[in-house]
Amino acid sequence: MQTKIYSINEIQAAADLITNGQLVAFPTETVYGLGSDATNETAVSQVYAAKGRPSDNPLIVHVADVETVEKYAAIISPAARKLMAKFWPGSLTIIFKLKPDVLSKTVTGGLTTAAFRFPNNQATLKLIKLAGRPIVGPSANTSGKPSPTTAQHVYHDLSGKIAGILDDGPTKVGVESTVLDMSTDTPVILRPGAVTQAQIEAVIGSIDTNHHQVGQNETPKAPGMKYKHYAPRAQVYVVDNAKEWAKVVDWVKQHGKQVGVLADDQILESFINLKNVTSYSLGSGIEQASANLFAGLRQFDDQDSIKVIFAQGYENKGLGVAYMNRLNKSAGGAHFSSLNN
């Protein structure tokens, strides 16, 4: 199969592919998603095959209006409607209980719930409207690898496996949406994202956060809940604070291995004269770091000589909760402090 990259002036052609049961990657404000007709079970099955994704891992359904969600959700509470009014279109995914038999188990992972998102990207909203149906949209990458934030990342992973990629340039947020489960008595965040707990609670009051890591044989209720995820080939180690970076420099000098360093511009200055270091800038501050994290991990993934990556940790608050969630899963929980002892 030849994979064609479509410009935003060619959205109709990309939508026609979706309508005809083909797979098309699409841009959102968070990461690129892998789209197919959510009502076409054969097409949805091809999404799992293209990604190499376990079939028990449910898919997010992307919509271009609230009315589409009303067709599928059994109940949309007043609290959920407040959130939709505040954050849609945007980086909030909401899980609802479904009406009977409205979506196939291929979409839901066999659950009686499904996750819905109204992305904040005009090209993709037009794609959904022209296709005339909701589209599933897991991240458009090989399952378990860092999520794609450019069309080129998608092409790297899925060229020859999907029909097309709608290119709208680099994404802005860089980490996937917040997933909020509204099918339970108390709303719970299953995956942190750019919409924070504090922002949600400002609209609907107290919610919960899920700290349970999904085991190998468990069915996750939302994407990204497996323990190790977003991982490059090299082992990632999280560097938790500024004081540890001097020890990282010493470790790199002592061991002489080719390593990757993923950090802000100020920290990278410490590694300028070390020939065995390949660096990637996270920019400055948590917003830029979140936007650049997956691109940095992918950059190192293309360099076979790099077996170890040291990545900057940020304070676990606000957007930093989502950033650290992704980074810790990329590292499989490994931190430099444990390597150093």
Q: Which two tokens stand for residue 127?
A: 């794609």
What's the first-to-final CA gap in the chain, in angstroms? 49
Residues contacting 260, CB < 8 A, separation 6+: 234, 277, 278, 279, 280, 299, 300, 303, 306, 308, 309, 310
Residues contacting 12, CB < 8 A, separation 6+: 130
**Residue 113 in marked binding region:** yes
Secondary structure (3-state) at 30 = coil
**Residue 57 in marked binding region:** yes
**Residue 191 in marked binding region:** yes
Burial 84-120 (b: 16+ CB within 10 A, else e): beebbbbbbbbbbbbeeeebeebbbbebebbbbbbbb
Q: Count of alpha carbons within 13 Å of 227, Cβ hemisphere only? A: 9
**Residue 147 in marked binding region:** yes
**Residue 62 in marked binding region:** yes
Task: For residue 340, give the amino acid letter.
Answer: N
Place of tokens 């940020």: 314
CB of 93 closer than 8 Å to CB of 135: no
The rounded distance, in Å, linking the Cα atoms of 196 and 28 is 18
Distances (CA, A) of 233 to 61, 140, 148, 229, 288: 29, 18, 15, 11, 24
**Residue 106 in marked binding region:** no
**Residue 305 in marked binding region:** no
**Residue 177 in marked binding region:** yes
**Residue 117 in marked binding region:** yes
Q: Which residues are annotated as a binding site for ATP?
A: 53, 57, 113, 139, 147, 191, 230
Which residues are annotated as part of the binding site for L-threonine? 30, 62, 117, 177
Binding residues: 30, 53, 57, 62, 113, 117, 139, 147, 177, 191, 230
